[in-house]
Amino acid sequence: MEGYDWGHLKDQVRQIRENTVTARSRTTYQNSYCRFLAWLAKNKADLVAPEFATRLGDIAAYSLQQLRAHIKEVINQKPRIDPFVFELLDAEVFVTWLITLQRKDGGALSYSVLNTHRASLFNLFRDFGHTMSKTLESELTTYFKGLKHKLAKDASIGASEIKTGKDPLMFDLYSFLCGKMLTLPGKEMAFSHAYMVIA
């Protein structure tokens, strides 16, 4: 067909596909799956694609955090290559990684955070042009139901706490902010003060 700029059309189609995930979500997903890939490289090296392992080089001296940063660099190199053998990944490996993760205070991650990591796995498959098998998808669903029940059970017996939302504002900080808002001129500050008192 004449009259079309095929390079421009191809670029537009690529941009449309990339618009399925926002830039912020993409960054979150990439941070998550780089963390997973670092764990795979250290603990399940047989799943890492040989060409990707060659690009990584010797990783023995890397800490997990250093390896994660290194993987993030390598994963964005052109041409892109598969970081692991997608067909060999099973849900058990992914869930094993999930249960090794902890909050900074040593507590278990919330279901919401675990679900974000699962979404990042779906995004990893999408980013590298692979389709997750129905078996893997189904197994992940089953495992996540079990994880949800485990978290609820742990919370009910007091083994862990369920934390939803953000931590409350400390009273000292609240008092300081209210005092400052009362001294500042303008209707906005009066509204802000009233909102803080009500909320």
Structural contact between residues 196 and 187, judged by C-beta atoms closer than 8 angstroms? no
Residue whose C-alpha is closest to residue 29's, from 44, 18, 16, 14: 18
Mean pLDDT of the chain: 88
Please give the C-alpha separations between residue 27 and each of 23, 31, 60, 143, in angstroms, as whole numbers.
Answer: 6, 6, 26, 25
pLDDT digits 0-9 by tens, 138-167? 999 999 999 999 888 888 887 766 556 666
Query: In this predicted structure, what is the pLDDT of residue 146?
Result: 94
Q: Amino acid identity of 94?
A: F
Quote the CA–CA distance of 53 and 42 in Å, as a whole number. Answer: 11
Quote the CA–CA distance of 134 and 182 in Å, as a whole number. Answer: 59
pTM here?
Answer: 0.73
Quote the CA–CA distance of 24 and 26 in Å, as a whole number. Answer: 5
> Structural domain boundaries of the chain?
6-156, 166-199
Q: Amino acid identity of 37?
A: L
Q: Does the structure show a pLDDT above 70 at 83?
A: yes
Least confident of 2-11, 26-35, 133-142: 2-11
Query: In this predicted structure, what is the pLDDT of residue 61?
Result: 94
